[in-house]
């Protein structure tokens, strides 16, 4: 028996989406709302590159989901449309958190193929990049996205020093650097070595959290482009915007709409209901957690599991269990604890323990099940 289209039910070959890619986290919208002043500041800093000069360095700061990466990508697209004499490369430092891996990505962006996996020193890798820039007479603009991960691994100063001093070893090399930090507790400039601070004097561009009115405006455009007409009603848009504003992360709302749309399709409905939204939010609210966990190494993920099993225990007791599983020493263990604390995955609070002095107790910052489910 055929369904009556007036009943508001989807057929097997129908969808609520007009363009599902609009709800991908890395989608770059045609219009970029409520970031005019930030785009003007970035344009000001990079304008010299289009004229063949070294651009100003930039520090881009702001919580996750405030448009920092989108701003960089839009500006890169504009530069690419304007000239071929500027090479723009964005490096994801959550994935590439060492100086060598950062420069491997710069090598790949310069030559369009990856460097050898072994047998090439950093000096040679760096030299080939710089020499190619000089030979092509091109300006390189490097965006170190989520640069806070380089700080967590104590790699930031060495990486930045190499980039900023490139012209001293390779005359004619012109490189500008954009540091993008999503850690509001990290004072980027103060945490750099003095030798780097003396040459890194960036333009400071801050991206604040979107307020609810701005969230509604941005999400409405995504809805208009991504869903068929009538799929999302005004109350649904308002509820998603409310949940998004509470989280402070626009990515939550974007992911929430995608999941809510899929929920509606699973019901065979042509419209998204409040229940579809509330159900989707139980997953979407953890988007920042999922992203942080995906970037962990095996030993870091192991420590998260151990802390989950020993939630609230003292750091020394947690170490004993961690060492049994990994054979890693206390120094590396302490480094990982500090990184997980900086990522807000755990709380590492100091307390006075009778007979032991000050000691840290370690606990997860999220519900245990939510963490363990996303580690699998």
Strand partners, 206: 61
Question: Has residue 19 been placed in a domain?
Answer: no
Residues 183 and 342: beta-carbon distance below 8 Å: yes
Does 60 lie in the same domain as 79? yes
Q: Is this structure's pTM higher than 0.85? A: yes
Which of 172, 206, 240 corresponds to the end of one domain? 206
Does 280 lie in the same domain as 172? no
* Residue range 27-42: mean pLDDT, rounded: 94
**pLDDT-above-70 percentage for the chain:** 96
> Over the stretch 238-294, which tens digit does the pLDDT of each residue have?
999 999 999 999 999 999 999 999 999 999 999 999 999 999 999 999 999 999 999
Output the CA–CA distances (angstroms, integers) from residue 281 to 27, 55, 100, 263, in the order listed: 20, 42, 39, 11
355 is in an annotated binding site: no
**pLDDT-above-90 percentage for the chain:** 89
* Residue range 89-95: mean pLDDT, rounded: 96
For 60, the enclosing helix (H) or strand (E) is strand 58-61
Which two structure tokens, joined as six digits, stand for 347? Answer: 């709380």
> Over the stretch 303-360, which tens digit does the pLDDT of each residue have?
999 999 999 999 999 999 999 999 999 999 999 999 999 999 999 887 666 555 677 8
Output the CA–CA distances (angstroms, integers) from residue 73 to 146, 215, 233, 291, in the order listed: 14, 20, 31, 19
Question: Has residue 22 been placed in a domain?
Answer: no
Dihedral of the alpha carbons of 143, 148, 149, 150, in degrees to the nearest 10: 70
More confident residue, 129 or 11: 129
210 is in an annotated binding site: yes
Does 218 lie in the same domain as 169? no
339 is in an annotated binding site: no
68 is in an annotated binding site: yes
316 is in an annotated binding site: no
> Over the stretch 50-62, which tens digit does the pLDDT of each residue have?
999 999 999 999 9
Does 215 lie in the same domain as 198? no
The per-residue pLDDT for 1 is 36
Question: Has residue 7 been placed in a domain?
Answer: no
The per-residue pLDDT for 4 is 44
271 is in an annotated binding site: no
Pairing of β 357-364 and β 346-353:
antiparallel
Domain extent at residue 346? 295-375
Within 208-273, where are the H helices? 212-226, 234-247, 250-266
Does 178 lie in the same domain as 89? yes
Does 77 lie in the same domain as 181? yes
Does 123 lie in the same domain as 256? no
């Amino acid at each position: 028996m055929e369904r009556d289209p007036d009943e508001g039910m989807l057929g097997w070959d129908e969808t609520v989406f007009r363009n599902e890619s609009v709800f991908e986290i890395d989608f770059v919208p045609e219009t970029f709302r409520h970031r005019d002043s930030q785009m003007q500041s970035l344009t000001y800093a990079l304008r010299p590159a289009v004229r063949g000069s070294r651009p100003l360095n930039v520090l881009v700061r702001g919580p996750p989901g405030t448009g920092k990466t989108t701003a960089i990508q839009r500006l890169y697209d504009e530069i690419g449309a304007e000239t071929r004499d500027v090479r723009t490369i964005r490096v994801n430092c959550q994935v590439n958190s060492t100086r060598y891996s950062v420069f491997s990505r710069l090598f790949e962006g310069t030559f369009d193929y990856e460097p050898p996996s072994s047998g090439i020193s950093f000096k040679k890798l760096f030299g080939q990049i710089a020499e190619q820039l000089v030979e092509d007479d091109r300006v390189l603009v490097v965006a170190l996205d989520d640069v806070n991960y380089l700080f967590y691994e104590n790699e930031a100063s060495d990486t930045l020093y190499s980039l900023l001093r490139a012209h001293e070893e390779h005359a004619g090399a012109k490189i500008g650097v954009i540091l993008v930090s999503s850690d509001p507790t990290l004072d980027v400039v103060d945490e750099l070595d003095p030798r780097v601070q003396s040459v890194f004097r960036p333009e400071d561009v801050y991206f604040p959290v979107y307020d609810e009115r701005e969230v509604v405006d941005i999400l409405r455009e995504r809805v208009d482009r991504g869903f068929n007409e009538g799929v999302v009603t005004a109350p649904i848009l308002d509820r998603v915007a409310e949940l998004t504003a509470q989280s402070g992360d626009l990515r939550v709302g974007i992911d929430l709409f995608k999941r809510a749309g899929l929920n509606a399709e699973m019901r065979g409905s042509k419209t998204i209901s409040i229940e579809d939204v509330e159900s989707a939010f139980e997953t979407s609210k953890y988007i920042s957690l999922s992203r942080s966990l995906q970037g962990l190494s095996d030993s870091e993920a192991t420590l998260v599991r151990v802390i989950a099993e020993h939630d609230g225990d003292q750091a020394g007791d947690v170490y004993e269990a961690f060492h049994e599983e990994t054979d890693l020493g206390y120094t590396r263990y302490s480094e990982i604890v500090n990184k997980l604390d900086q990522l807000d995955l755990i709380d590492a609070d100091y307390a006075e323990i009778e007979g032991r002095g000050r000691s840290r107790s370690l606990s997860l910052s999220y519900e245990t099940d939510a963490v363990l489910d996303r580690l699998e």
